[in-house]
Amino acid sequence: MAYEIIDNCVSCWACEGVCPSGAISPGTLHGKAHFVIDAKKCTECEGDYADAQCASICPIEGAILNPLKAWANPPGSLTGIPPERLAAAMAEIQAR
Amino acid sequence: MELTVLGQPAEQATIEAEGGCSSSGCGSDSDSLSHLPDHIREKVHNHPCYSEEAHHHYARMHVAVAPACNIQCHYCNRKYDCANESRPGVVSELLSPDDAVKKVMAVAAEIPQMTVLGIAGPGDPLANPERTFETFQQLTEKAPDIKLCVSTNGLALPEQVEELSKHNIDHVTITINTVDPEIGAQIYPWVYWNNRRIKGVKGARILIEQQQKGLKMLTDRGILVKVNSVMIPGVNDKHLEEVSRVVKDNGAFLHNVMPLIAEAEHGTFYGVMGQRGPTHDELQALQDACAGDMNMMRHCRQCRADAVGLLGEDRGDEFTMDKVEVMDIDYEAAMERRKQVQDDIEKQRKMKQAGLVALEGLSVQKKELRPVLMAVATSGGGIINEHFGHAKEFLIYEANATDVRFISHRKVELYCGGGDTCGDGESVLDQIIKTLSGCEAVLCSKIGYEPWDLLEAAGIMPNGEHAMEDIEQAVAAVYAEMAENGALEKPAPTKQIAAQAGA
């Protein structure tokens, strides 16, 4: 089992530097720069840390899936912006 | 009564020029750098981000080698990456240390008045220590005539101070928005600390402790520290005077209070939640209140983490990596030219200091003269050399009976894009007039009839008579003129508006 980075990664390198297993490297997804976790190397940080390191430093909500394929950081959990508020603001901007 | 900037004896003026004192700061101003020890003034003398006077002449650049961050701030959004946006944390192109060094040397050769290289993100430089220090180390060897500085949120500072002090870095900026964890929790939703994400008051407390600890460690080692604070109305605005006192006690030599930038389209917490930024007046009032205890910086442009050029301009487009790669740089030759250009700038600065003469205009001895705000259009060099319609920003100066001081800059949209684009001119002009509210004169090299009439009607007197003159001299001359013709006996324009509203 392993953590997985999905397509809204912004390639900020934060996770790469804190992974105790050297499992994270820059790559591409759908032609876009994007970090990748090598599932064979990922240990979920077991034995090293209480929390998965990539998921603990990632600034982007919804960018990392945990081994259960659920968001490690669901919308609203990091920025504090309620998801419905964000959606309303984005809809308003697009309507301009 | 006379203007101290203009009226000081020539001998004194020369001494101050030697010591690197800003002409606007030699008066009784509390926000001048003039009372700092000589060794500090010497260090900041040609640093555009530390010396207001230097920023008219010298340029800076940032290289974006530090993408990772170890905290979240409510005014930042890590997803944002836009070429048309100018604010901290935004970059177009992330660089490897090798590429950053190439870029710095190319810029240094092309812009010889570039004296300072900073690493400021787009994340936190000390959360990317390898990339940051690799860049510094190469530059120390290859471009020893460039000053190095770094800007940090402070969380990793204590553990990096030792390494920092090895790299010939004598300027560090720490962003400190609060010394109170309860307030901190409203600004920083989380920090990454000891391998955990720590949220709320607990996280903010750790950040605050590390910031103050790091500040003391740096100043104990003789490294100059500037503190940046973002003014967030209703969150930390009332508290920043205390922050100013605390950071001064802990050794910071300069405090830069900046306005919050928050727009919904930035996607930041504050932007989406509708948190407003401060007005010009609120910002100035807070800066003045802090100035009682601390040297204040007022000329910050809150530039991008990849900005290049004089403050207020960004020439980053001329130095994208594809362009840098094909430039052939002879750095030995560039260093000679840089020295020559910088020596010439220093000669000019000295002449300016020595050439100041007392104005007769203010010999008018009347009851206390009220201060006046004036807007100035300049494209650098400390002189009035920008057409009103071409100004992207105006510098705001305050003149009173004893002094001329720099207050702030205000950004505007271009009134005249040239050619056929003046169709939108009118609404843009309205916006500019609003932006310049509180000012009673606008000094520029030239101005068209149409904006002239509208500005005059709004109580802002256009003035093109001082083109190519020194800014402070010109502001003083216009003030003296206003004193002579009785304009200062009328109330300030904001009061006129209030009176009209009340009538």
By the 10 Å C-beta count (0-12 exposed, 13-18 middle, 19+ buried), A45 is classed as buried
Decide if A68 touches B, using CB distance below 8 A.
no
Residue B244 clears pLDDT 90, i.e. is over it? yes
CB pairs under 8 A between A and B: 76
What is the extent of the structural domain holding A32?
Answer: 4-95
How are beta strands B114-119 and B59-62 bridged, if at all? parallel
Q: How many domains does chain A have?
A: 1
By the 10 Å C-beta count (0-12 exposed, 13-18 middle, 19+ buried), B372 is classed as buried
Which one of B193, B273, B275 would you mutate to disrupt binding with A, by most A Cβ within 10 Å of its Cβ? Answer: B273
pLDDT tens-digit series, residues B283-321: 989 998 888 778 888 887 777 777 887 877 778 888 888
Residue A40, SS3? coil
Decide if A85 touches B, using CB distance below 8 A.
yes
- Mean pLDDT to the nearest integer, B162-166: 91
Which one of B81, B197, B269 would you mutate to disrupt binding with A, by most A Cβ within 10 Å of its Cβ? Answer: B197
pLDDT tens-digit series, residues A52-76: 999 999 999 999 999 999 999 999 9
CB B34 within 8 A of CB B22: yes
Distance (Å, whole) CA B5 – CA B468: 19
CA–centroid distance for B237 within its chain: 19
How high is the pLDDT of residue B131?
94
Tell me the ipTM for this assembly: 0.95
How are beta strands B114-119 and B147-152 bridged, if at all? parallel
Decide if A41 touches B, using CB distance below 8 A.
no
Q: The CATH number of the domain where A8 resides is what?
A: 3.30.70.20
Residue B82 clears pLDDT 80, i.e. is over it? no
Within 8 A of A92 by CB-CB distance, chain B residues are 264
Place of tokens 């004193």: B483
Distance (Å, whole) CA B395 – CA B473: 14
pLDDT tens-digit series, residues A21-55: 999 998 877 777 789 999 999 999 999 999 999 99
| Cβ contact B192–A57 (<8 Å) | yes
Mean of per-residue pLDDT scores for chain B: 82
How high is the pLDDT of residue B300?
77
State how far residue A3 is from chain B, nearest Cα, in angstroms.
17
Q: What are phi and psi of A38, to 5 degrees?
A: -75, 110
% of chain B exceeding 90 in pLDDT: 41
What is the DSSP track for B446-476? ---HHHHHHHHHTT-EEE-TTTTSBHHHHHH
Decide if A57 touches B, using CB distance below 8 A.
yes
| Cβ contact A12–B81 (<8 Å) | no
State how far residue B404 is from chain A, nearest Cα, in angstroms.
43
How high is the pLDDT of residue B263?
87
Decide if A36 touches B, using CB distance below 8 A.
no
Residue B297, SS3? strand
State how far residue A5 is from chain B, nearest Cα, in angstroms.
15
Residues of B in CB contact (< 8 Å) with A are: 67-70, 72, 74, 77-79, 81, 94, 122-123, 127-128, 189-190, 192, 195-197, 264-265, 267-269, 271-273
How high is the pLDDT of residue B483?
85
How high is the pLDDT of residue A88?
92
- Which tokens sit at A17? 């530097």
Query: Domains (ranges, CATH) in chain B?
Result: 46-325 (3.20.20.70), 361-502 (3.30.420.130)
